[in-house]
Amino acid sequence: MHSKCLDAHPGIRPATERDLGRILEIEKLCFDPQWSQDQFIASFKDLFLVYEQEEILGFLVACSCEIARRAIIMRIAVHPDHWGRGIASRLISAALDRFKCMDLRCAELDVDIVKNGAIKLYEKFGFKIMRVATVNYDEETSFYIMKLLLRNSNG
């Protein structure tokens, strides 16, 4: 489904269950707390992309609501040995192209406010900070909710 939307993105393909071992390895290196294997398995029914060059170097998970015409990028990770090589940019670009093929209106994501590199990357694609949210006031964990309009609301 919508595979032609990925044709312009060499090395990027939909994730499969056989990729889970490597995806979980990258997840463990990049996030605390980590998603469970079950959360990843549930993501196969949405947009779940991997970037692969001989082995998987990164992944992106998103979900979409075609009725609301919006997508939410839920997870992006690149193996730390491959940071700074444009892999996250390639994954985001492929996902945004896919969202446009699906005629979605906007894409959203959240990012920890201390992750300046990630924030700058998202801003490069046109994402704008919409608001700050705090999940746990005791730990002072805050993040930005960022949004990108993919097309005009009337088109």
In DSSP notation, 89-134 reads HHHHHHHHHHHHHTT-SEEEEEEETT-HHHHHHHHHTT-EEEEEEE
Give the CATH number of the domain where residue 120 resides: 3.40.630.30
The answer to whether residue 106 scores a pLDDT higher than 50 is yes
155 within some domain: no
Is position 154 within any domain?
Answer: no
Residue 72 lies in a domain: yes
Rounded Cα–Cα distance for residues 145 and 112 (Å): 9
Looking at per-residue pLDDT, the higher value among 118 and 142 belongs to 118
Question: pLDDT of 9-30, one tens digit each?
Answer: 899 999 999 999 999 999 999 9
Q: Report residue 66's pLDDT band, with 50, 70 and 90 as the boundaries.
A: confident
Give the total number of structural domains in the chain.
1
Q: Is residue 50 assigned to a domain? A: yes
Instruction: Provide the domain limits for residue 45.
Output: 3-149
In the chain, pLDDT over 90 holds for what percent of residues? 76
* Per-residue pLDDT tens digits for 29-49: 999 888 999 999 999 989 999
CB atoms within 10 A of CB 8: 10
